Amino acid sequence: MRVLVPIAYEVGEFPELYSEWEVVSLKPFPRTVGKSEEENYYGMAKHFCGKEVADRSWLVRLHFPKVKATSGSQGQIFIAKKEESGWFVWFKNH
């Protein structure tokens, strides 16, 4: 996460607000089924890239303590692992 989160968030407007972060949860998408706060992201992943890719991807839920707005302080990234090059972020939500 130390590499992936800054790549996804410390760009654009106000990158300093995203320089501190905490992982709220980290789990494979299939393990989000039945968890109301997370299962909708699995549906998004399946819609964007299909069930096969979603089933091999992970949901990372983040909290950014420097961001004071409740909705803005939460973030989600979808990650997957390529055998030859390692983990990468393929979607950022918020």
Confidence of residue 71 (pLDDT cuts 50, 70, 90): confident
Instruction: Tell whether the model's pLDDT for residue 13 goes beyond 90.
Output: no
Confidence of residue 12 (pLDDT cuts 50, 70, 90): confident
φ and ψ at 55, to 5 degrees?
-65, -20
Q: Which of 90, 89, 91 has the alpha carbon at shortest distance from 5?
A: 89
- Per the prediction, the chain carries an average pLDDT of 94
Domain limits, the chain: 4-93
